[in-house]
Amino acid sequence: MHSQNDDTGAASAPVFPDAVVIGLTRVCGALSALLILVVLVQITTAVVRRYVLDAPLQWNDEMLGYLLVAMVMLGAAEALRRGDHIAIDLIVSRLGPRGRRIQAAFANLCVMGFALVVGLSIWDSIEFARAFGSYSIGYIEIQTWIPQVPVAIGSALLFLTAALGLYRTIRRLPE
């Protein structure tokens, strides 16, 4: 026999995979933070080699560009999830609870739209680069699709994080 608590527990279980999205977001956010340290070490090494040892690193600027893109895209979803992003709340602070929920839903929809546009366009770019077999034109000769992968991952994670925010916002809207 099933007790009434078992049935309500199953019925109230979250539909959206909150733990999966939050876990992936935290992992990518931690990776982004680690990349900040890698960039710091790389810049310090480059400065010492250039100005102290008079032996500059030829590939440094190109690598920093790739790492910067990866750092931003992998950390964007965590910043959104934690609310650490740039926000202008001149109007939102004057809204009531329902208005704030509507604004939050709209904001999450906008982020989802942005992430979808970026994600689809980078996916097309990755497919083209792989089909064409293009390589970068700097000191680091790498297939051009490889440094684009963090943009695709970050866009997908940003979309999922905004979708989770939208889901939570809608779930709380009064009927």
* Nearest CA-CA partner of 28 in 84, 83, 79: 79
Say what the pLDDT of residue 7 is.
45
In a domain, residue 9? The reply is no
**Per the domain annotation, does 46 fall within a domain?**
yes
Instruction: Give a yes or no: residue 2 inside a domain.
Output: no
Domain of residue 151: give its range.
Answer: 14-82+90-172
Flag whether 4 is in a domain: no
Query: Is a pLDDT exceeding 60 seen at residue 44?
Result: yes
Tell whether the model's pLDDT for residue 128 goes beyond 50. Answer: yes
Q: Which of 167, 165, 159, 169 is nearest to 102 (CA)?
A: 169
Model confidence pLDDT, tens digit, residues 108-119 = 999 999 999 999
Count of domains forming the chain: 1
User: In angstroms, rounded to a whole number, what is the distance separating the alpha carbons of residues 135 and 144?
Assistant: 5
Instruction: Specify if 52 maps to a domain.
Output: yes
What percentage of the chain reaches a pLDDT higher than 70? 88
Q: Is the pLDDT of residue 51 over 50?
A: yes
The pLDDT value given to residue 57: 85
Is 163 buried (19+), middle (13-18) or exposed (0-12) by CB count in 10 A?
Answer: middle
**Residue 49 lies inside a defined structural domain of this protein:** yes
* Per-residue pLDDT reduced to its tens digit, 6-38: 444 444 555 567 888 888 999 999 999 999 999
Q: Is residue 8 part of a domain?
A: no
Do 142 and 63 touch, CB atoms closer than 8 A? no
In a domain, 115, yes or no: yes
